[in-house]
A and B are shown apart, each in its own frame.
Chain A
Amino acid sequence: MAMSSTEAQSEIEFLNAQAVELDPIDMAVRLINKGLSQDVVTHLIKLCDHVKIIAGKVIQIGKIVLMKIWEFIQANPDLTIGIAVGAALCALTHMVPWIGPKITPIVTALGAAFGAVAGYRLDKKGQGKVFDSGVFGIAADIITLAKKFLKLFSSILIAVTEYVMGTNS
């Protein structure tokens, strides 16, 4: 889903306007009450510090990512929260490479090995090499679900990144 830089800019500004309203403490309360581990919550809250300047505007990119993860959790209320957060992060890392280093501590806190194996199997499945069932198969399906949910958001991030790279070069 390719998106022009103008479209992406207006989308990201719209998301930014929503994200500015996000209160990190309230978000922490919601996530803790949903049963997410406190270490993971703290790392997610730390994301709120990340900002990027895009087209001369300060964009609260960390808050936007957190907001999208929360939307994914709410859209899938029957998923265990740890798995939902892990799948959303895994999907985002896969689709938007620069997000990886920012969310590594969270993925570590969630148990990276599980997500990594599931992600690996997902890649193999994409190549037609492994058709898996069982726990890892389910994890791979959840990541696929998260990727579908976050596809538009990742397209926006990619288009914005391309714009920023273009203006910096």
Chain B
Amino acid sequence: MEPDISKEEYIEALKKMKKSPASVVGILGDLVVTGIGTTAGVGVAGKIAAAFGATTLLGSTKLAIILGTTFVTTTPIGWVIGSAAAAGVLAFGTGRLIRSGAKTDTIKKYTIREIERRISKL
């Protein structure tokens, strides 16, 4: 049986926990969700659409060829299915990683809160 932890030990651990940064994966997750995801999504949307079925622009294949795949926007079903499939594949791979990082950060926040609660009780 371990001896009880003293108030000083709780305080020391709390200081160390507050000093260290959030989980790297958690930070990465935030970036992906807020910034990188949006930028990348806008940047590759046309290409994704082309790769998954959108081949016309305003009903014209010639116009689509001239302007390139970045501007291919008008085959709604191909666009939607294509984008969704690509996003799904991407999300599946990164999702677990992000969730893991987010969970780690949640556990850390909970641990800090709990230590603070115990200190206040001692």
Contact = CB atoms under 8 A, between A and B. Distances in A.
Interface in B67-122: 100, 103-104, 107-108, 111, 114-115, 118
A78 interface: no
A29 B104 contact: no
Category for how many chain A residues contact B: 10 to 19
Contacts of B111: 25, 28, 42, 45
Contacts of B20: 37-38
B28 interface: no
A110 interface: no
B108 A30 contact: no
A21 B107 CA distance: 20
Contact of A38 (B12, B16, B114): B16
Interface residues of B, number: 21
Interface in A20-52: 21, 25-26, 28-30, 32-33, 37-39, 42-43, 45-46
A105 interface: yes
A71 B17 CA distance: 23
B101 to A, nearest CB: 10
Interface of B: 1-2, 5, 9-10, 12-13, 16-17, 20, 23-24, 100, 103-104, 107-108, 111, 114-115, 118
Interface of A: 21, 25-26, 28-30, 32-33, 37-39, 42-43, 45-46, 105
Closest 7 CB pairs between A and B? A29-B13, A32-B13, A38-B20, A42-B104, A25-B114, A42-B107, A32-B16
